[in-house]
Amino acid sequence: MEFPPFASLGHVRILVVPVGNIKKQAFDKWANIVRSFETIRLGDISPHSRDDYGRFMPAALSPGYLHLSYPSHPPPLWHAPLGLFRPSEFPLGIIGIAQTSSSLTSILSQFNAEVAQLFSANPLFPLAQNCYVFEDEGNAAPANLGESHPGMVVIPNVMGNKEVYIGTLVSELCSSILAEFSNLARAVESSLGMEILNSTLFPIIPGLSDQSLHEQPGPTRNSQFFSQGGVDSPTTSEPSSRSATPVLRASTFDAGRPVPSHNLSLAASVASKSARRQSGITIPQTGRLFKLLGDLFLLAGRNSDAGVWYTKSASLLNSPHDAVWNASALEGLCTVQVLEAWNAGHGLVWKESWLDISEKLSQAATLYSRATPSVGTSSPEVDSSLIILLYTNCVTRHASLLFSIWASKGWGPLAFVTLIRPGLPLTFTPTPPDESHRIRLSTITGISRATIANTLAQAHGPFLLHLEPHDRIRLLQHMAATYSCLGFRRKEVYVLRELLSTVMDVLVCNRDEAMKTAREKGSGMPALNSKELRTIGFRERENAEGNESIMELVRYVCEVYGIDLTAVKLLDSDVLDDIETTADTEMPEMCKSQFGWDELQLGVVREAVAIVEALPDYATVAQFDLSALRTLHAILSPLDQTYLYTNSTKALVTARRRGDDRRIEFWSGNPIVNIEISPLSFVRLPIEHQAKDLLPPSEEADAIVGNRDPFIYNPRLVASISKSQAFIVQNEPIEFVLTLKNPYAFDLELQSLSLSTSGVSLEADPSSVTIAANSYHVTRIIATATEPGTLVVRGCLVQAHGGMPREFVFPLTTEEANISLAKRKSAWQAEVDRIKETGLDARPWIRNKRLSLAKPKISKTSKGVAQMSFIQCTVVPQQPLMRIRRTSLTHGAVMMYDGETSFVRLTVENVSTIPIEFIKVTCIDSTMAPAQQALAEGELSVFETYETEYELLRRPVFRWDQETQPKSIGPGKKAIITIICSGKIGCTSGSVQISYSNIRQESLTQYDVFHTRQVIYPVLVTVYNTLECHNMDILPFTSESPQISGAENAQAHCHIGKRPFEDKDGEWCLFTVDVRNTYGMPFEVTLERQEDGEWRCIPEELSGLTTRLVSPGSTSRIILPIKRFLLSETQLSTPIPTLSDRQFVVSKSKLTSKEERHQRELFWYREALFSHVKGKWREAGGSRFGWLSLRQQRFTALMLDALRTDRSRLKLSLVSYNDSGECCSLVCGSKTTTGPDRFVYLRATVVNQTPDPMVMTLSFTVNPSEHVLYDGVICNIPVGELSSGEERQMEIGLCFVSEGKFDLRATVNVIGDDPNTDSKTGEGELRVIVRSDDR
């Protein structure tokens, strides 16, 4: 439905129609060749053989052109009254295109029938017709191909250059049309024709074959006026060759309105009266005749003659009844000026030329707007409709003038081409200019877009309702196209909305009428009686032609208003197998902003849904409903939401029932809020282990302390723990918890909800879920993994009713992802706020498109974008299942004394069908957690750290007795696990953890991992505090020991000479400790020492010292002689260890090297002491026993000196020599005596007791020294190097000059020893009594 160009008043319309069974491809080929002749030079038109037909013929070699146009359809029937008023609106000629598939006679008859069907019973047009028959290449030529038929031309296949010949044929057809112009003019110039022409506003002249129109009246004033005015005297015309008189038929464009016949009846009455009319009748006015002649001359290409006749008619048509004729004459004058400018071929014309045209068109529009139907007419609505049609055409012609000049950058050749030929200007092809270019066009031409739009807006108003639907559609289509070219998109869609309304009215009515007609005729229905028809349902086949174009217009209108009706895609059947994946890698929420007017958008959506429902296209109805729900959810009321959802559901069901296999994608956005894996019960949870965990427990004692890592804090370990995976077991059900949301005001039904996974296969049945309105919903999916490996839970597959499944991925939120998202948000927001969009550029998808161009910039801003990570599950092989059948405890509680040992027996059973091949028992008690926390804090000293770890590792409350360990447990079998319990103060509870699996140790390498399950048995523990140790001390084994009583010391000394306590040179010391009984029962406490690698009790002679009966509430001291010892230097230089192999923690106190060595000595001698001495207790008169812990006692430096053996042994003795040189000892009993003034010798015997050689010196002191004389020096006397165990004697001469008691002391020092080590290695002491012999 094309709209005519500006100069359509000067176009000769030729209708090209197919004839017979010609193929569409062949018809298009030859029709395009015919339509290629848009202009024909006037000099190429052959003159007519008769002079009376040459009135409108061009002169020989005359300049100018005849402009042709080729409409695709004949005019509608209700335009028939415009036959004389505007002949350019009708096809003046018709060309038939046929092929030689049948005889020429049948082709000609088919052509004539086609022409008779297209036009009315007594048509004025077409004036000429011809049928072009082309020889078919594939078929044999008919026998009568050489015959000649009037109105038919046969074009053989062998003819070369058919285009030139076709052009000649078109020129001959134009010559016939111009000849018929003369016949038409003679008919109108007759008296009867003049009466008909002036009888009504839009007269209809009968066919040119009517004889009454060609009667020659006598000479009248009117005929004289014709001669003076340059009008040729009418002559008799020969009858027309067309004799077909078909009955009146409706046009294909008729919308059901009856054909107006009042003008035809009026013309018939005028003709009947003319036969009886006598001469002397008043001659009617000639203004209308001059205007008609101007139209004919304009169509004939004689622009100057047309201008003359238009000017004369405009001066005569001053009556209000002739306003439309006057306006049409002004339009003709404007067309003449444009055609003259085009013929000139250049644009060197003054600017005022087009201004004059614009003024005339404005005047014509004003005249049209003031025109009224004729008084007394029988069909005033017909005249009103035609007047409005003419008015709107005039307005659009004026707007086309301004638009063509504006688009062509001024008045010039480009503007002339646009004004004459239909189509868009060259500046709008192939793509329209941008906004800046449109502004530049307004600046160049001085014509603003608002001026063009305002001019065009005059054609729109409530008067359009008087137009026929065909004319209204054509007008609105032209207005929308012009607004689109101007860039006024909102005005365009405003007109398109009205256009869609008009089209839908016509379309629905015609389809309903066609279906009703088909039902009445019963076409395609079987012959059934009424009873059978009541029991059988029929579905009529709906016509879907043109639906897609209408829906495309609807989508475009909604898009301009900011509504994306394609937000939910409608997928065809060939892509139904593809599942769309949605990942929130972009940030749609950041750019979502409301665009447009809410009320207007809601109204447009309602219109769009109503239009699609009326077509009907049920799949598209669902698409539009759901797209509106998705995009306009924020502004839709609950009732609107419910209606759209319900309507879409019904539409999908209907579309499916009618065989439409298209599906809707999931429309509701991402309903997944969270996905979690329900944790397995503890007894079913698999725990991952390294293969080295299969080592014996003695080699993995640090597992009791805590982390195996040697460092106190390891950030890599922390990171790995935070990313730990979930474990599930093969062939065992696992529960996934899904949290869903429904933001809508209706219950959202999900037909299918399943997990989207990768990796190992997962068996799970999809479930259907209904989410209540505006709420969250929690659902559970039970699944089973069928093979071991890694299972990745990507998200969920969601499918709504009648829709396609869609995958929504659910990545995990990590700290890196949050940081990256925050950076992208900041960069995106900065980009959004940088430029403010205006107009239609602010629509969400246009805005997102602009922002998408800034993605590289945003990506550079946010460095280190984290990749998506999903929930990962490790599917472990099938595992056995164990339970504790019974225990030896009553109510799961055990009561013990401090240090007591008892046993707990657990009977376990394998309740699975898989054998248990691996068992490991780990025990935990309540004292471990505080100790591990203290160790983790690192605030303990070195000694406290060691003691804490010792209590954890060496004195646990529960230990597994591996001697009774079962090797395996078969399916359904039982086994007994024994736990050793030791009483420890402070323990209130504990647990026994049994780890088991079906893995075999020999099948693993050191780099493999395996999985176990655990069973935990809690135990309540009660430990009674019975005995407490205090005041541990170590004393030298001498008679001056102040800490023990005299009786105890005497008893110890009386047995010291007996084995095994024979003291040789101070090899023994006394170990004492006080034991207090805090319980209500007496206990026997015994101390033991280790001798020659064996633990031995004290002999019966000293049993009173080593074993005591400690009564309730009393304290007893227990004494044990122990042998002194000396540790090697290598052991003493070893740092204090950590039993758990943890990172060594340096003490916060800064100690010197000497102080650190002293600490090491205290530690190692304390450990050696506790390895030699231990205590045990037994309940008096009972069978319960246990061990006494001494590790809480403090070890001091004095104890160290008493316990440690000197590195060198020094023995002093006093000797003398007789005259023969023999050595005599001066020891008498237990005393050393000598006389004064005698020379004696002090002998020092030095023995190296260390395993290493030493270089030593010897120093002596005498007290009082003033009464003693000595030979040589007494300080730093070199002894020399002594190897291990070597003995050496040194002597020094002395002389006591007075009587009395003298104390002689000697010290041995090491030369070259470590400066941090005490150089004194030994000392000796000797008391000498000096007296005269006579005493």
Lowest mean pLDDT among 482-496, 859-873, 891-905, 1029-1043: 859-873
Nearest to 180 by CA among 32, 44, 54, 340: 54
The distance of Cα 706 from the centroid of its chain, to the nearest Å, equals 42
On whether the CB atoms of residues 694 and 1004 are closer than 8 A, the answer is: yes
On whether the CB atoms of residues 481 and 495 are closer than 8 A, the answer is: no
> What are the residue ranges of helices labelled H in 216-275?
221-228, 262-274
- Residue 63's pLDDT band (boundaries 50, 70, 90)? confident
Question: What pLDDT, on the 0 to 100 scale, is given for residue 522?
Answer: 58
Helix/strand/coil for 1322: strand
Distance CA 34, CA 70 (A): 9
- Residue 592's pLDDT band (boundaries 50, 70, 90)? low
Name the E strands within 1092-1236.
Answer: 1094-1096, 1107-1110, 1115-1123, 1173-1179, 1185-1188, 1208-1217, 1223-1225, 1227-1228, 1231-1234
Distance CA 895, CA 983 (A): 8
pTM: 0.69
Distance CA 344, CA 338 (A): 10
Lowest mean pLDDT among 160-169, 930-939, 1067-1076, 1137-1146: 1137-1146
Question: What pLDDT, on the 0 to 100 scale, is given for residue 94?
Answer: 94
DSSP secondary structure code for residue 277 in this structure = P
- Residue 79's pLDDT band (boundaries 50, 70, 90)? confident
Backbone φ and ψ of 150, nearest 5°: -60, 140
What are the C-alpha distances in Å from 993 to residues 920, 925, 958? Answer: 8, 11, 11
Distance CA 226, CA 235 (A): 13
Average pLDDT over residues 1232-1254: 85
Which of residues 372 and 185 earns the better pLDDT score? Answer: 185
Distance CA 327, CA 310 (A): 10
Name the E strands within 1060-1128.
Answer: 1068-1077, 1083-1091, 1094-1096, 1107-1110, 1115-1123
The token pair that represents 227 in the structure block? 């001669």
Lowest mean pLDDT among 46-55, 635-644, 879-888: 46-55
Question: What pLDDT, on the 0 to 100 scale, is given for residue 253?
Answer: 32
Per the prediction, the chain carries an average pLDDT of: 80
Question: What pLDDT, on the 0 to 100 scale, is given for residue 142?
Answer: 59
By residue count, the chain amounts to: 1335
DSSP secondary structure code for residue 671 in this structure = -
Backbone φ and ψ of 457, nearest 5°: -65, -20
Average pLDDT over residues 1053-1068: 52
Average pLDDT over residues 1137-1142: 70
Whether pLDDT at 81 is above 60:
yes
- Residue 236's pLDDT band (boundaries 50, 70, 90)? very low
Nearest to 60 by CA among 48, 47, 76, 75: 47
Which of residues 889 and 943 earns the better pLDDT score? Answer: 889
Which of residues 17 and 149 earns the better pLDDT score? Answer: 17
Residues 6+ apart with CB under 8 A from 1228: none
pLDDT per residue as tens digits for the range 1257-1277:
988 888 888 888 888 888 888
- Burial status of residue 103 (CB atoms within 10 A of its CB: 0-12, 13-18, 19 or more): middle
Kind plus residue range of the DSSP H or E element containing 979: strand 974-982
- Residue 980's pLDDT band (boundaries 50, 70, 90)? very high
User: How many C-beta atoms surround the C-beta of residue 1150 within 10 A?
Assistant: 7
Question: What pLDDT, on the 0 to 100 scale, is given for residue 270?
Answer: 44
The token pair that represents 99 in the structure block? 């092929």
Q: What is the residue whose two structure tokens read 């005059």? A: 458
Average pLDDT over residues 33-45: 91
Percent of the chain with pLDDT over 70: 78
Question: What pLDDT, on the 0 to 100 scale, is given for residue 267?
Answer: 44
pLDDT per residue as tens digits for the range 795-813:
999 999 888 899 998 888 7
Lowest mean pLDDT among 454-468, 622-636, 849-863, 872-886: 849-863
- Residue 622's pLDDT band (boundaries 50, 70, 90)? very high
Question: What pLDDT, on the 0 to 100 scale, is given for residue 102?
Answer: 78
User: How many C-beta atoms surround the C-beta of residue 361 within 10 A?
Assistant: 25
Distance CA 1232, CA 1326 (A): 8
pLDDT per residue as tens digits for the range 88-116:
999 999 999 998 877 888 888 999 988 88
Question: What pLDDT, on the 0 to 100 scale, is given for residue 1123?
Answer: 86
Residues 6+ apart with CB under 8 A from 1054: none
Distance CA 151, CA 153 (A): 7
Nearest to 1104 by CA among 1149, 1052, 1146: 1052
DSSP string of 451-514, one letter each residue: HHHHHHHTT-SGGGGGS-HHHHHHHHHHHHHHHHHHT-HHHHHHHHHHHHHHHHHHHHHHHHHH
Lowest mean pLDDT among 189-203, 219-233, 719-733, 877-891: 219-233
Average pLDDT over residues 923-943: 85
pLDDT per residue as tens digits for the range 1177-1191:
999 888 899 999 888
Question: What pLDDT, on the 0 to 100 scale, is given for residue 428?
Answer: 84
Whether pLDDT at 1205 is above 90:
no
Backbone φ and ψ of 1241, nearest 5°: -125, 135
Question: What pLDDT, on the 0 to 100 scale, is given for residue 886?
Answer: 93
The token pair that represents 1173 in the structure block? 């001495």
- Residue 1089's pLDDT band (boundaries 50, 70, 90)? confident
The distance of Cα 1124 from the centroid of its chain, to the nearest Å, equals 79
Omega into 1060 within 30° of 0, i.e. cis? yes
Average pLDDT over residues 482-505: 92
Instruction: Find the largest Cα–Cα distance for the chain.
Output: 212
Helix/strand/coil for 156: coil
pLDDT per residue as tens digits for the range 764-794:
888 999 999 999 999 999 999 999 999 999 9
Question: What pLDDT, on the 0 to 100 scale, is given for residue 1139?
Answer: 73
Question: What pLDDT, on the 0 to 100 scale, is given for residue 281?
Answer: 41
Whether pLDDT at 139 is above 70:
no
Q: For the chain, how big is the Rg over CA atoms in Å?
A: 62
Whether pLDDT at 716 is above 80:
no
The distance of Cα 606 from the centroid of its chain, to the nearest Å, equals 31
Whether pLDDT at 263 is above 80:
no
pLDDT per residue as tens digits for the range 964-979:
778 889 999 999 999 9
Distance CA 1207, CA 463 (A): 130
Helix/strand/coil for 1118: strand
Question: What pLDDT, on the 0 to 100 scale, is given for residue 262?
Answer: 41
Distance CA 627, CA 569 (A): 8
Distance CA 112, CA 103 (A): 15
Average pLDDT over residues 1005-1033: 89
Which of residues 365 and 286 earns the better pLDDT score? Answer: 365
Whether pLDDT at 642 is above 90:
yes
Lowest mean pLDDT among 277-286, 553-562, 833-842, 1206-1215: 277-286
Distance CA 521, CA 516 (A): 9
Average pLDDT over residues 563-587: 67
> What are the residue ranges of helices labelled H in 864-941?
928-937
On whether the CB atoms of residues 1251 and 1225 are closer than 8 A, the answer is: no
What are the C-alpha distances in Å from 469 to residues 1, 249, 352, 380, 383? Answer: 12, 19, 38, 18, 16
Average pLDDT over residues 588-615: 78
Distance CA 562, CA 840 (A): 8
pLDDT per residue as tens digits for the range 350-392:
445 788 999 999 999 999 998 888 665 656 777 888 999 999 9
Question: What pLDDT, on the 0 to 100 scale, is given for residue 702?
Answer: 46
